[in-house]
Amino acid sequence: MLTPIAYGLAVVLNLFVLFIGARFLLVPHAAAAGYGVPAKKDGDVAYLTIKGLRDGGYGLLGLALLVFAGARAEAWYMLIVALIPLGDTLIVLRNGGTRAVAFGIHFATAVVVLISAALLFAV
């Protein structure tokens, strides 16, 4: 029973990160606003594109690890990658974003990723 939940949550999280990456590539300013730190209309597009490529790469890497290396490798990946939304929490707070976005989106995401890692370690 635990295995489908662990794998399912990992797949959903990786697909979600892939979606976020695609959103930063396709509608960068809207994605930045959703992130919690809006981008300037006349700049920042290169950095938003970089974020999109990086997030897309993280999502693909997570899926590849799950398929080709298994649950334990994915668990370590999730444990390490949880640092990213924790860092995002601080970035939003330090750059004028709201506490609701910082904790309600980014910190909550880190917690879910850590839960995913724990479930994968338990498989």
| Residue range 48-103, pLDDT digits in tens | 999 999 999 999 999 999 999 999 999 999 999 999 999 999 999 999 999 999 99
Using pLDDT thresholds of 50, 70 and 90, give the confidence band for residue 105: very high
Residues 14, 113: contact at Cβ < 8 Å? Answer: no
The Cα–Cα gap between 116 and 99 comes to 24
Given this model, what pLDDT does residue 44 score? 75
Angle (CA) 15-101-44 rounded to 5° is 75
